[in-house]
Amino acid sequence: MLRKGYLSTFGAARRPRAVYAYFNPQKQSLPLRSISTTSIFLQEPPSFKGQLYESTQQRLKRERAERERFSGHQAQSPGGRYAALTFALALFSACGYYLGSLKPAAFPTSSTTALSETEPLRHDTSQSNLQAAWVDFVEILGRENVSTEENELISHSGSDWSSYSPDKDERLFLVLYPSTTDEVSRVMKICHRRLIPVTAYSGGTSLEGQFTPTKGGICIDFRRMDRIIELHKEDLDIVVQPAVGWEELNQKLEEDGLFFPPDPGPGAMIGGMVGTGCSGTNAYRYGTMREWVLSLTVVLADGSIIKTRQRPRKSSAGYDLTKMFIGSEGTLGLVTEATLKLTIRPKGQNVAIASFPTLQSAADCAKRVVENGVPVAGIEILDDVQMRCVNASKITGREWREVPTLFFKFTGTPSVIKEQISIVQNMAKSSGGQSFEFARGEEEMAELWSARKGALWSIIAMKQDPGDRVWTTDVAVPISKLPDIIEATKEDLTQNKLLAGICGHVGDAIILFNKKQKQVVENVIHRMIKRAVEMEGTISGEHGVGIVKRDYLHYEIGEPGVNAMRRCRQQAAERQVSEDVVEIVSNFLTP
């Protein structure tokens, strides 16, 4: 039984053919003539007698043709008529059965789809199918942009910083490098027709296994789509392709005094940032990626191209498709263009750090800053283990106090920044802070902030064995619960004797482990996620769900919520009848 998509496609394919027979000039048996307005009004209409005579002649011709056909039928032998009738019945029975098989299943009556009710995914990753598709891909992109090199297949299947380790059978067949939305659309049409699974890749900095090809198939790498398409200075927005990095974008915008606030890890690109709904160290002041995307151009599973909305800052026209695609991690479509909001670059900025005797006192200080509405640009926390790893890895140019440390970012005019620093310094002191230091120039700012940006790499540098791995994950809770979850997670990590740093603006944990410790780490992560949900928090503050956390999603939003997402996903991937089937059926039914 085929799906609903077959019906809509079949209907859409057949109607234009009927129109074509009447209106396409190349199909007319007589040439079309142009008739002037004058000749229409001057031509004498035929008389009533003439019209009656013409109608009678046409009727006589039809009757004569009918008598001749009937006479021929009577002259045919009974055996011939029986054979013809049998053949006709067999033909129409076969056609009826075939057309009946195209009838879609009944439209679902529920608003959600439970996992037990879903149909198994249909993929064709046979070598013959993939090799045949390779020929089509080369024709679209050129041989140089279709890669089967082993090192590229491996690098597009996982990373050292991802929490998910791909299995041996989770391998790609090839990697594609399109350069336009049209090329992505043509590639997706082939994959849709051939049932080839597709994984999107933009930057590859995700941490929860987002780009691991669990179903095999192909990977679409957007690295060639790295252009800034159009900057609208007056409207404070910009149109970019998915492989534009946020760091390079801000370097370009600095020339015009503009600024794009979301700032996740180094190397992140706009496509991946949209896919995970990321944020970064500026999230406290400026919000997350969801607040900075105006519109998206998206290629759907069947190759259709949609634009979610226009450029105005406000719109109440229909569903907010833009927000639906942000955070969908490529499951609903592939982003090929993004229209981003911009803001004016702050007149000035500064950085300060404060050290504390305990993680609890540091978290209490961060809580007080937020509760009192101090408009700092960002607040980051690194625990004592994380600071010790930063020192041991030598990734920065200075020695740090190996105690829990808060990092503050300030923006505004010099007088505003000075006032904010004074307020935060007093709060840190009243929370038990041991030291407070702020930068006195651009170089010091970069130096003070370097420990936060290098947190992940400092843990990776602590590997003792090639088999050691890093598990990086995050949760987020209401600010009032932040001290509680940080303290409980810290205690859990210490009791299990794991080398792990706590850092970030919500509650990131970076854990170094070996094969023997994997189950212990999984248990710690499980308790961390469970704890966050019980505190009315989220299983992921900005890293996304990926493969690692997909089984935890129902803890946060409930089974009906996940089932509703599943229904949206099914509709987005609804398979339509192929063009070949449409052509066959249309040819059969068209006279």
pLDDT per position as a tens digit, 223-243:
999 999 999 999 999 999 999
Average the pLDDT over 560-576 and give the result.
Answer: 80
**The token pair that represents 167 in the structure block:** 């299995």
Bridge-partner residues for 38, per DSSP? none
Which residue's structure tokens are 């996992």? 115
Instruction: Classify residue 107 by its DSSP letter.
Output: P
Amino acid at 476: A
Query: Residue 216: CB partners within 8 Å, gap ≥ 6?
Result: 123, 125, 169, 170, 171, 172, 173, 197
Q: Which of 125, 340, 360 is nearest to 246 (CA)?
A: 340
Chain Cα centroid distance, residue 36: 57
Per CATH, the number for 127-183+191-221 is 3.30.43.10
User: Which range (38-42, 91-95, 149-153) has the least confidence?
Assistant: 38-42
Query: Does the pLDDT at position 576 exceed 80?
Result: no
CA distance 542 to 264: 9
**The token pair that represents 489 in the structure block:** 């997670």
- Please state, as a whole number, how many other Cβ atoms lie within 10 Å of the Cβ of residue 142: 12
Query: Does the pLDDT at position 72 exceed 70?
Result: no
CA distance 490 to 494: 6
Query: Does the pLDDT at position 400 exceed 90?
Result: yes
Chain Cα centroid distance, residue 442: 36
Please give the model's pTM, rounded to 2 decimal places: 0.77
Q: Which residues of 218-237 are buried (b: 16+ CB within 10 A; e: fewer)?
A: bbbbbbbbbeeeebeeeeeb
Would you call 250 exposed, middle or buried from its count of C-beta atoms within 10 A (0-12, 13-18, 19+)? middle
Q: Which of 290, 286, 289, 284 is nearest to 479 (CA)?
A: 284
Average the pLDDT over 348-358 and give the result.
Answer: 94
The H or E element that residue 502 is part of is: strand 499-504
DSSP string for 487-533: HHHHHHHHHTT-EEEEEETTTEEEEEE-GGGHHHHHHHHHHHHHHHH
Query: Does the pLDDT at position 74 exceed 50?
Result: yes
Query: Does the pLDDT at position 579 exceed 90?
Result: no
pLDDT, tens only, 375-392: 999 898 999 999 999 999
Give 50's pLDDT tier (boundaries 50, 70, 90).
low
The H or E element that residue 221 is part of is: strand 218-221
In CATH terms, the superfamily for domain 348-548 is: FAD-linked oxidases, C-terminal domain (3.40.462.10)
CATH classification for the domain delimited by 228-344, as one of 3.40.640.10, 3.90.1170.50, 3.90.650.10, 3.30.465.10: 3.30.465.10
Query: Does the pLDDT at position 27 exceed 70?
Result: no
Amino acid at 519: Q
Instruction: Classify residue 280 by its DSSP letter.
Output: B
Which residue's structure tokens are 């930063």? 390
User: Which range (47-51, 204-208, 230-234, 479-483) has the least confidence?
Assistant: 47-51
CB 113 within 8 A of CB 570: yes
Q: Helix count (H) and strand count (E) of the chain?
A: 20, 18
Query: Residue 532: CB partners within 8 Å, gap ≥ 6?
Result: 475, 476, 477, 485, 507, 538, 539
CA distance 483 to 381: 11
Give 15's pLDDT tier (boundaries 50, 70, 90).
very low
Give 14's pLDDT tier (boundaries 50, 70, 90).
very low
CA distance 273 to 277: 6
Which residue's structure tokens are 């002037």? 36
The H or E element that residue 384 is part of is: helix 384-393
CA distance 512 to 518: 10
Residue range(s) in the chain whose domain bears CATH number 3.30.465.10: 228-344
Residue range(s) in the chain whose domain bears CATH number 3.40.462.10: 348-548
pLDDT, tens only, 510-537: 999 998 999 999 999 999 999 999 999 9
Coil/strand/helix, residue 476: strand
